[in-house]
Structure 1
Amino acid sequence: MLHEMSIENLGVITSARVEFSPGLTAITGETGAGKTMVLTGLTLLMGGKSDVHAVRAGADSALVEGRVTVDDPGFVARVDDAGAALDEDGSLLIARTVAAQGRSRTHVGGRAVPRTVLGELAEDVVTIHGQSDQMRLRAPQRQREALDDFAGQNLAARLDEYRALWNERATARTELTELTTLAQERAREAELLRLGLAEIERIEPAPGEDVRLAQDAERLANAEELRTDARGALVALAGDDLGDVVVDAESDVVALVDRARRLTESGGLHDARLAEISRRLADVAYAVADIGTELSAYLAELDADPARLEAVEARRAELGHLTRTYGSSVDEVLAWASTAGLRLLELEDDDERISALSERVAALDHELVERASVLTTLRTEAAAALGDAVSAELAGLAMSGATLDIEVSPLPEPGPWGADSVQMLLTAHRGGTARPLGKGASGGELSRVMLAIEVALATSEASGARRTPTMIFDEVDAGVGGKAAVEIGRRLARLARTTQVIVVTHLPQVAAFADAHLVVTKGTTDDGVDSITQSGIRLVDDASRVQELARMLSGQEDSEAARQHASELLELSAVRL
């Protein structure tokens, strides 16, 4: 249940704290006194959207804090999943900050969370009904939801199964549509893939071949220059006379290094440092000799055959066509071929896939029809029970002879919520015509129908609806008065036997049934600005409650006649329960 709420700088409320009791709590006050801001605070506390215009003029931000408890292990687990923590007494602290400039902030159990997380948690705590809910009740979807709530967990489980099947069928149908409607395009894609793969298979590129051939072409195109340079280097190293290059035999590298080695080798007998230099010169001699051997082999292998160069360039041209079409290198071409092969297998399998998907969709359609039939049966049974329960409530809400019939009719084909169209038909009086709730009900009648549905959902033995610990009603008595108002108060009091109920009302007949009565009064600050402070939301009882009811009855709280009427109303409300 909701235990308390504190508000700062929200609308006309400067600073106020409200404590809520079990049972029925009525919130009253003059028109414009600030009851709406109290409801706005409750809405924010339960994860409703924030509005920067609700921040009090001149304030940087508005703050709403509250404390709730829910005796449900599932709720405690969801709080834990959100990373929040319960207080030592098992209560959950909630805070909303609405900045005049910027976004609101939400804290649950001491942890900052997204507003949507608070909204999901609040679904297990509070149900808020306002005039907007009455308008939504005109919509067929909301009427179906109310019926499904009444049907309870059995229908909810079947509906979850149906929804999963519906989504699976939707996915299969989308894939089937893509395969059939895009068949020509997919066939063209497959043909292009075949041509590309055939061309690559004909040319048979090897990994890295384009890089190797580029190197070969560069070498073959400059073979004579390379030969001259290699010969010169070999003669310089080894002093060999190759005919076109002559180097003094005493000045070649091999001879000079060998001479230096021999000289240092002799001196090294007397000096270890010189001996080390001699050993290093020996290593140099071996390296030079090895390089000379490698240069000789290079010269022997160097090929200046024009025919070979022509063959290399022709092969590069073939590979170049592939790299211009399927990738910037042969390796990329081969990667494309691998991917294209897999895609071609997928495209060539279209006929079999279309056949398999068609069979699967047909099977899912059949199963959906069967599951939809189960939903129809459950809804039809629940519709009769809910209609009877609401009609009984309407009789007690000064709508004697009124009945609510819930019509469950088939849709042309199953939809995402089954194969049923749900419509509530209200017969407002005996002998009247049943008319759709969205067309034939006045505002006052719609208020009473909504309350009757809520009472039926919460109290009917046939109801399987999930009950929240707290229900908040805003102007549920709009458009009614007299005996109907008394009966609304009585129904709210009955509802409060099992659920905490908070009602914002302007009718004394409703407020008289409350277990706790809160009055909102507005004052002014020193500069004449409207303001509700800590004392502006107060709990009234005894004489002060009689005075408030007298004000609501006649606008004259000091009238003795109004006070007597208020006292009588309190006495009668206690008896009529």
Structure 2
Amino acid sequence: MIEEIEISDLGVIAEATLPLGPGFTAITGETGAGKTMVVTALGLLLGGRADAATVRSGAANARIDGRWVVPDSGIVAERVVEAGGDIDPFGADGEAELTLGRTVTAEGRSRAQVGGRSAPVGVLAELSGNLVAVHGQSDQIRLRSRSAQRDALDRAAGDELGATLARYREVFDRWQANKAELETLTRDREARETEAENLRAAMDEIEQAAPQPGEDEQLAATAERLTNLEELRLAAAGARESLSTELAEGDDVLALIESARRSLERVVGVDGSLQPIAEQLQNLSYLASEAAGELSSYLASLDADGSNELEAINERRALLTTLVRKHGPTLDDVIATLERGSARLLELDGDSDRIDELTTRVENDTRDVEEAASAVTGVRRRTAERLGAAITDELSALAMPDATVVVDVEDKGEYTRSGRDDVAFLMRPHAGTEPRPLSKGASGGELSRVMLAIEVVISASDPVPTYVFDEVDAGVGGAAAIEIGRRLARLAQHAQVIVVTHLAQVAAFASNHLSVVKESDGFVTASSVTRLQGDDRTAEMTRLLSGLADSDSGRAHAEELLDLGAETQMIG
């Protein structure tokens, strides 16, 4: 329920506070005073599109703040907390206060506030469905659409349809997912078969080559060695001869070291400090002898026919290079292709089995969808019969005694997440005529009454906390207007109702009457909002009836209407 709305610099409204609260609030005022700005303000609080043109001329921005009373737990409270906002619990009835705000700058920028914290405007839109149902001339147009009529029927069905439709959507979603996968596998079957053939060929090629991790680097090193074989042999032989050879002229390294060691040992007894040096020479002799032996082994390993080995290695490297180019970019990737290929082949080869499995599933899902859709249709048709009769009764009370509303539910032969039903609200204006779609058989005023009748009937099974009607009485007058007022008062017995109206016959039934007052100093026009009571309310009712606030006959009629409204509220 909306407790209060504050408006600053929106349209012609400079500063206004709307005390709302429970029951039926009527908002009246002269033409051009800014009554519709109240609905515009509420639309902005509920996430509507911001328009810089709505900012009051000369103002930097327009601001709207709303104070709601909401349950301290549930969908609204949870979404506010998720958005980082707060609600303020009070009392012992599980109620809390929620503040919403919206600012629109003269440049068209917009900011939103939820529960005292900045939030995306989209959060306001998410909350709106659980806070307010707004009806205006555009909603009357929307009521002409089949989807809006189906939504109205589903609201009337309430919990009975909720579980059935949820079951249908579960089956429908599964059916669509399986169908999509089946279509993809079937459509791509040829491409996947080609992929499997190419993968098998690649795996055969890689298996025959049997590459090993790091083999390409090892082969490159070996090829480098064999390419420089003669240079390596000369270097190794020269080194060995320098260390130890009988063919070299003069003494070799080993002989020289040995000679030096013997020279020191002859005098160690004279000076003991030479002993460590003699031992170092002994170790050098051992190391040189080992190096000479290893060089001999290295020379023996150099194959005199190394050119043949080099040719074989280059051929192997060429083979590996081809594999890397086709399946690389590295040899490790080539080996990984072989490892992953088996799993991919299992997947590709399993497509036929998967297609058969999915075909069976889709056939079963199709039967399940048909059964679930039939259940949804059954609930809708039962509800349609009750809803049509109830709306017809309401229209009789709304000065349309000859009108009959029929809610038609037909199988359109196409499944969607909402079922397969085509819902149409048909109206027979007079006995003996054929029911016609609302878009063809109802005027604007009649649509207003049909819409109100629908809300009155549906509210019993699917109540909305707050209903806002923007000139729902357009094109209506006399007795029909009085009945609209009565129905709005009836709706207000279990929901908050806010109505922008120009008819005294409707405003008379309100428990809270607000007037949008336009004032001008000759240069600037500004409007404000005043709560009317007593004589002030009677004067406004008189103006609505006769155009003159001080008309005696109008005043008498106004008092009569106010008495009728008060009597209706007492009975309610």
Identify whether the pair has TM-score above 0.5, normalized to the shorter chain.
Answer: yes
Q: Deviations over 1:67-126 (max 9, x none)?
A: 111236323344334432212532111122223446422221223333233322232221
Residue 509 of structure 2: which of 507, 510, 513 is its match?
Answer: 513
SS of alignment partner, residue 493 of structure 2: coil
1:26/1:514 contact within 8 Å kept: yes
User: 2 CA distance for matches of 1:232 and 1:206?
Assistant: 37
Shift of 1:368: 0.8
Residue 477 of structure 1: which of 473, 480, 490 is its match?
Answer: 473
Structure-2 change in CA distance of 1:521 and 1:331 (3 Å) = same
List runs of 5+ in structure 2 lacking aligned partners: 91-95
User: 2 CA distance for matches of 1:60 and 1:253?
Assistant: 103
Aligned to 1:220: 226
Structure-2 change in CA distance of 1:425 and 1:281 (3 Å) = farther
SS of alignment partner, residue 70 of structure 2: coil
Aligned to 2:560: 568
Aligned to 2:363: 362
Sequence identity of aligned pairs in percent?
46
Structure-2 change in CA distance of 1:42 and 1:440 (3 Å) = same
1:130/1:475 contact within 8 Å kept: yes
Shift of 1:290: 7.2
Matched, 1:124 2:130: yes
What is the 5 A alignment of 1:140-539? 140-231=146-237, 239-241=243-245, 249=252, 298-303=298-303, 305-459=306-460, 464-465=461-462, 467-524=463-520, 528-532=523-527, 536-539=528-531
Aligned to 2:47: 47
Q: Deviations over 1:228-265 (max 9, x none)?
A: 444556667xx33497x889746999789989x99xx9
Shift of 1:289: 7.7
1:399/1:429 contact within 8 Å kept: no
Structure-2 change in CA distance of 1:8 and 1:328 (3 Å) = same
Structure-2 change in CA distance of 1:402 and 1:297 (3 Å) = farther
User: 2 CA distance for matches of 1:515 and 1:267?
Assistant: 132
Structure-2 change in CA distance of 1:246 and 1:38 (3 Å) = farther
Q: Deviations over 1:306-332 (max 9, x none)?
A: 111111111111111111111111111
User: 1 CA distance for matches of 2:534 and 2:135?
Assistant: 29
Q: Deviations over 1:387-441 (max 9, x none)?
A: 1111111001110121111111122243322222211111112333210112221
User: 1 CA distance for matches of 2:39 and 2:526?
Assistant: 16
User: 2 CA distance for matches of 1:284 and 1:5?
Assistant: 102
SS of alignment partner, residue 506 of structure 1: coil
Structure-2 change in CA distance of 1:22 and 1:240 (3 Å) = same
Structure-2 change in CA distance of 1:368 and 1:216 (3 Å) = same
Q: Which amino acid aligns with 1:9?
A: D
Cα RMSD after superposing both structures = 3.4
Shift of 1:50: 2.3
SS of alignment partner, residue 359 of structure 1: helix
User: 2 CA distance for matches of 1:566 and 1:216?
Assistant: 112
Q: Deviations over 1:328-361 (max 9, x none)?
A: 1111112233333322222212221111111000
User: 1 CA distance for matches of 2:280 and 2:123?
Assistant: 78
User: 1 CA distance for matches of 2:465 and 2:111?
Assistant: 25
1:241/1:247 contact within 8 Å kept: no
User: 2 CA distance for matches of 1:522 and 1:285?
Assistant: 118
Shift of 1:375: 0.8
User: 2 CA distance for matches of 1:181 and 1:441?
Assistant: 49
Structure-2 change in CA distance of 1:486 and 1:293 (3 Å) = farther
Shift of 1:185: 2.3
Structure-2 change in CA distance of 1:180 and 1:269 (3 Å) = same
Shift of 1:146: 0.8
Shift of 1:47: 2.4
User: 2 CA distance for matches of 1:110 and 1:254?
Assistant: 94
SS of alignment partner, residue 155 of structure 1: helix
2:6/2:66 contact within 8 Å kept: yes
Calculate the TM-score normalised by the size of structure 2: 0.89
Structure-2 change in CA distance of 1:70 and 1:303 (3 Å) = farther
2:244/2:254 contact within 8 Å kept: no
User: 2 CA distance for matches of 1:269 and 1:56?
Assistant: 112
Q: Deviations over 1:14-50 (max 9, x none)?
A: 3322221210001111222112222111112122232
User: 1 CA distance for matches of 2:41 and 2:7?
Assistant: 7
User: 2 CA distance for matches of 1:291 and 1:501?
Assistant: 106
Aligned to 1:555: 547
Shift of 1:381: 1.0
User: 2 CA distance for matches of 1:52 and 1:174?
Assistant: 45
User: 1 CA distance for matches of 2:278 and 2:123?
Assistant: 83
User: 2 CA distance for matches of 1:269 and 1:440?
Assistant: 132
1:26/1:518 contact within 8 Å kept: yes
215-224 or 446-455: which moved more?
A: 215-224
Shift of 1:208: 2.1
Q: Which amino acid aligns with 2:28?
A: T
Structure-2 change in CA distance of 1:224 and 1:12 (3 Å) = farther
Number of positions where the alignment pairs a residue of Structure 1 with one of Structure 2:
561
Q: Deviations over 1:517-557 (max 9, x none)?
A: 1111233478x24333xxx1111111111222222222222
Q: Which amino acid aligns with 2:172?
A: W
Q: Deviations over 1:128-149 (max 9, x none)?
A: 1122211111111111111111
SS of alignment partner, residue 398 of structure 1: coil
Calculate the TM-score normalised by the size of structure 1: 0.88
User: 2 CA distance for matches of 1:51 and 1:254?
Assistant: 102
2:392/2:403 contact within 8 Å kept: yes
Q: Which amino acid aligns with 2:529?
A: I
Shift of 1:297: 5.1
1:410/1:419 contact within 8 Å kept: yes
User: 2 CA distance for matches of 1:287 and 1:484?
Assistant: 122
27-36 or 377-386: which moved more?
A: 27-36
User: 2 CA distance for matches of 1:324 and 1:352?
Assistant: 34
